[in-house]
Amino acid sequence: MPHPFDLTGRVALVTGANTGIGQTLAVALAAAGASLALVGRSAMDETRALLQGPGRVHEIRADLSTNAPLQAVVAETLATLGGLDILVNNAGIIRRADSVDYTEADWDAVLDTNLKSLFFLSQAAGRHMIAQGSGKIINIASLLSFQGGIRIPAYTAAKSGVAGVTRLLACEWAAKGVNVNAIAPGYIETNNTEALRQDEQRRTEILTRIPAGRWGKPADLGGAAVFLAAPASDYVNGVVLPVDGGWLAR
């Protein structure tokens, strides 16, 4: 009987795989046996050096701030690795400013990358997965999928949208063999939270509220990703899974 967390023979496409959370998720999926298409705007040498597992690795340079490369990213993954079983929509950006000063340009940039591209890449991958009768899509949501946040209006709107799109696609595709779920990271030590961690007051306020007593590390998300990518989660649909050290419980 196959191990319920074994990804041997599966092909995973991970966006934003060059650093932070995307890099960690790629490492976790590779360790579980998956072959990987690593998608990012910059070189992924560091990610490649961390990968351990039996699968193959292919790097795709693409800017996901527009829809232009999305079909090609899926086509290249299929042509190079021979399939597509898992999509991890991780690529994202953040722009901070008071709402009274927030610009349309920043709003559009965040929504285009964090929500629009996520949906249309899911659409492109979903067409293939529906045709083969199976697939796993894992979207990276946020605590801001549940809460309002401060000084990040576009990010909050986008991540709220990610939760909604995750549920919608689950409703449409579950019966077609495609599981669509999301992970909502808490306060994780990444480039996106650097500004918060450098602000002594905000850092202290955040840490005081986290029941686990520490900021999360990208590696804390790896197990959730493997679970949602593996046969173990075949009857899990439309879930937005917080990995937050208990933040939402307080």
9-41 pLDDT, tens per residue? 999 999 999 999 999 999 999 999 999 999 999
Rounded-to-integer distance, Cα 119 and Cα 158, Å: 11
For residue 12, which amino acid is it?
A
The CATH classification number of 11-244 equals 3.40.50.720
Catalytic annotation, residues: 155
pLDDT at residue 36, as a whole number: 98
Residue 146: which residues within 8 A CB-CB, separation 6 or more? 163, 184, 240, 242, 248
pLDDT at residue 138, as a whole number: 99
Work out the angle at residue 246's Cα, subtended by the Cα atoms of residues 241 and 248, and round it to the nearest 5 degrees.
70
Longest dimension (CA), the chain: 58
Distance of CA 206 to the CA centre of its chain: 22
98-102, 166-170, 203-207: least confident range: 203-207
Contact 225, 88 (CB under 8 A): yes
Q: Tell me what the mean pLDDT of segment 159-166 comes to.
A: 98
Residue 159, pLDDT > 80, answer: yes
Averaged pLDDT of the chain: 96
Rounded-to-integer distance, Cα 123 and Cα 139, Å: 13
Q: What is the bridge-based pairing of β-strands 86-89 and 57-61?
A: unpaired
Run of H or E residues at 163: helix 153-173
Structure tokens at 154: 């576009």
pLDDT at residue 1, as a whole number: 59
Q: Where are the alpha helices (DSSP H) in the chain?
A: 20-31, 45-50, 70-81, 104-111, 117-132, 153-173, 194-198, 200-209, 222-229
Run of H or E residues at 59: strand 57-61
